[in-house]
Structure 1
């Protein structure tokens, strides 16, 4: 069979396209494990000893392990769209103000060890995440929860402290995963790589030198939910780099590879003919951005940040590093999401050295402004270094900046960033769910994921609550646009680009159209083994 690129439709707002699975099958696998490669690294360290605890994990790679094992009340459906019941039989708001949300659990739910799953377990899990308040700030997704009530063993009622039409989405994220109180202490994170739940799989970790090298997922015989599991076993193998992962695919050691392939690999696969490997393009909402510690001496003056925003040439950056695999982004809310606005372009227009110089002169800032831009070497793909070299050159060529760049492995980069040790740093974001709120609140609300000192009272106290009151997301556009305009004015961060997603797979693997959703959630249960073409 010729190698080919299968392009799946992009997400528009919250509408779910009706996709046909690539060679999909409703039958399970023949018993052989389907082996999936990733360059995500999973480490347990002194700084982050409990990477797989649902109350701590807040990273796309970690969530992609949790989603296979830790069941949630709601789940993102095939092809995206509004969440649907998973551990729950039914859920919904029971008032007109979107402040009281009730779920009824499926009858007969069990954890993988056979223990029953009850409403009390759900209450315990939510309250545990909120009480632990892990430094990852993942608990902020549940910030609108005031109290959790149970009625009998199957009904859970969430009383919210403010209207939150996005709450069903938040119940589909791993922080809302249901844990067994026998395995997870109330006030302490579960360290290491042990993981238990009631999801479609059980997981066994293979660990070397404090890093998870392979996660072996085996079909959970007690699973009861909305998902159809099309295989008996999947192995997720962590590779040191994309080239090694690609070699493993070519040799047949793995069946499929996901994030993060290099731009060169994607380009090569898209043009190649012959062989038994397909490249599948999946709609995606990944974004990259530059963030500022707004209290740091080097960038606390807003004029410095606005001058950087005025100088960055996104089109040049994307063309030089990612080509057709990404698009320039002028807002933290990407194109394709209801509420997207090109606020940064509307404010700054095309890159302009003279305008940037005037901003700095008017503020009395001495040039060249010196600072270091930090990036992670092993979390967002091998092209990250090249991306920051381009950004460095753009700023330094203006004569207004003297910028150094420094790369650090993720296991050290993330704790340092949270600790405020970086003045300027690059980050990526894979949304918690496909809604504008997931591109705004995690960065601009209290207890934000960056631990950023930037806090705008109007955004926090008025605009975010206003936007969450609207179940019809089109009605929230005015509030969402204003938030994006304020962000472009104050520049606590600068959006750079939004990317596409790709999966490379051997052609006897089915279900690849659904293995990633637009939020980069890995859905291993969709995979099966068919007949090679």
Structure 2
């Protein structure tokens, strides 16, 4: 269409900026967001979007748009606030009884009322199914769930748990309809039904979901305000193809995950009409060990690896300013952070590592394979694991190789214990030190690890959860971290920053990805506000 210059009436001229400042509520165009997260239904994981199974950031980012939780993390972070609930709180001083009252008039997207019985059904379903993905561990302190009328639910806990409100804000506690989900069986495929701010349709390519279309749910009642009518989330095989789609205006924003090279280029020489935003991030990366595997069964082998690996050199080579070395499971800026691995092992020291192995009677070089996923954390992962294997091999104490596999193969194999050494990332379910400890060390944990430390499981983790003031739990977390550094069931490597790139007309970008890497698509709009 040819564009002609128009002379607008004065009223229209004054009105135009006001319309633009509304953030695009009247704009019917879908906002398109790119992601490198992969959504695949396989024989080992046929129900990737069932809240009783889903336990990765990509899947949770689908569920957060569609399934309500009693509480949610507010814009800008902080303690959870009511979402599907009208009010929630502990009804005792011991943090063992938690009561929530639902908002009036809540319905699922199909118009069916949301009741306290649906909440009870949803929580009990997760605990009954108890999938091998570690999801149910988040609700391990739930003893019984009681309903009082149609709109009140009481959670009776088996131990004090000051972190319980945070857990109720995660998709594992998503409210489902017992008419749409079976009590004892996972729901296979990619369909999701809920009462969240959006309804969803999915476009598939074989066993993969390629595109999710979220449409504003007219029946939604809750704390979230959607600043758009429709959002698409489009999956890309890699950051490069996602970047090209942004440049060609096929998408409006790219989030998880930009490559280090993209961040550098867009920051130093930004493309016209595109801006990069750094948002706070709490992602960590680490090596995990199957402590029953013959290669790494002896603690001395894991300790020697901790002595050899040079985190600073690794970060500088692969990630540059987008990451920093990590010497603890708990990252900096989280209460309880310390540097136990640095305190225990100091700077990389091959001589010290050699002594550890010699004192344990272990013959060198120790042959190890470092397993990693090729398509889950970004394009630099292969380079990272090649660098680690070279560091280990250069010490002459190890004969190390790196081996990659697609996430759909890697994760089931890791849970089965097929890998002696493997690399994983962790994006917190909620920003509390408990969520960097329990998923790795508590019973029914995310790693499905054979490592058990009874002092940590039976004494220290429960003690840490008694403290409503989370800073008061720091001494307990210090004890736990010292044990981790001594036994090395996991080996922290680095913590990362987060970036999003978006077209300049998009608003709300700075709020669309929070510290837990949750995509809050309802924050996005078009305009100048």
Bin of the TM-score, shorter chain as denominator length: over 0.9
Tell me the equivalent position of 2:125.
128
**1:141 and 2:146 correspond:** no
1:124-273, aligned counterparts within 5 Å? 124-273=121-270
Tell me the equivalent position of 1:475.
472
CA RMSD of aligned residues (A): 1.0
Tell me the equivalent position of 1:320.
317
1:102-117, aligned counterparts within 5 Å? 102-117=99-114
Tell me the equivalent position of 1:383.
380
- Structure 1 unpaired stretches of 5+: 1-22
Tell me the equivalent position of 1:493.
490
Q: 1:273 to 1:207 in 2, by over 3 A?
A: closer
1:32 to 29, 33, 40: 29
SS in 2 for 1:206: strand
**1:431 and 2:428 correspond:** yes
Task: Give the whole-Å Cα distance in 1 for the aligned partners of 2:331 and 2:417.
Answer: 26
1:376-455, aligned counterparts within 5 Å? 376-455=373-452
SS in 2 for 1:202: strand
Q: What is the CA distance between 1:28 and its match in structure 2?
A: 2.1
**1:350 and 2:339 correspond:** no
Instruction: Kindly provide the CA deviation profile for residues 396-430 of structure 1, in whole angstroms up to 9, marking residues without a partner as x.
Output: 00000001110000011000000100000000000
Task: Give the whole-Å Cα distance in 2 for the aligned partners of 1:25 and 1:209.
Answer: 40
Task: Give the whole-Å Cα distance in 2 for the aligned partners of 1:319 and 1:46.
Answer: 39
Given that 2:386 and 2:401 are in contact with CA atoms closer than 8 Å, whether structure 1 keeps it comes out as: no
**1:76 and 2:90 correspond:** no
Tell me the equivalent position of 1:522.
519
Q: 1:305 to 1:510 in 2, by over 3 A?
A: same
Task: Give the whole-Å Cα distance in 2 for the aligned partners of 1:222 and 1:252.
Answer: 32
Task: Give the whole-Å Cα distance in 2 for the aligned partners of 1:197 and 1:213.
Answer: 21
Given that 1:29 and 1:529 are in contact with CA atoms closer than 8 Å, whether structure 2 keeps it comes out as: no
Given that 2:24 and 2:527 are in contact with CA atoms closer than 8 Å, whether structure 1 keeps it comes out as: no
Tell me the equivalent position of 1:297.
294
Q: What is the CA distance between 1:260 and its match in structure 2?
A: 1.1
Task: Give the whole-Å Cα distance in 1 for the aligned partners of 2:271 and 2:474.
Answer: 47
Q: What is the CA distance between 1:261 and its match in structure 2?
A: 1.1
Task: Give the whole-Å Cα distance in 2 for the aligned partners of 1:386 and 1:405.
Answer: 10
Tell me the equivalent position of 1:278.
275
SS in 2 for 1:52: coil
SS in 2 for 1:350: coil
Q: What is the CA distance between 1:26 and its match in structure 2?
A: 6.0
Question: If the length of structure 1 is used for normalisation, what is the TM-score?
Answer: 0.95
Task: Give the whole-Å Cα distance in 2 for the aligned partners of 1:290 and 1:304.
Answer: 13
Task: Give the whole-Å Cα distance in 1 for the aligned partners of 2:122 and 2:475.
Answer: 35
Given that 2:23 and 2:507 are in contact with CA atoms closer than 8 Å, whether structure 1 keeps it comes out as: no
Instruction: Kindly provide the CA deviation profile for residues 197-222 of structure 1, in whole angstroms up to 9, marking residues without a partner as x.
Output: 00000010100111000000000011
**1:510 and 2:493 correspond:** no
Q: What is the CA distance between 1:314 and its match in structure 2?
A: 0.5
Q: 1:347 to 1:425 in 2, by over 3 A?
A: same
- Structure 2 unpaired stretches of 5+: 1-19
Q: 1:447 to 1:273 in 2, by over 3 A?
A: closer
Question: If the length of structure 2 is used for normalisation, what is the TM-score?
Answer: 0.95
How many residues align structurally?
A: 510
Given that 1:147 and 1:158 are in contact with CA atoms closer than 8 Å, whether structure 2 keeps it comes out as: yes
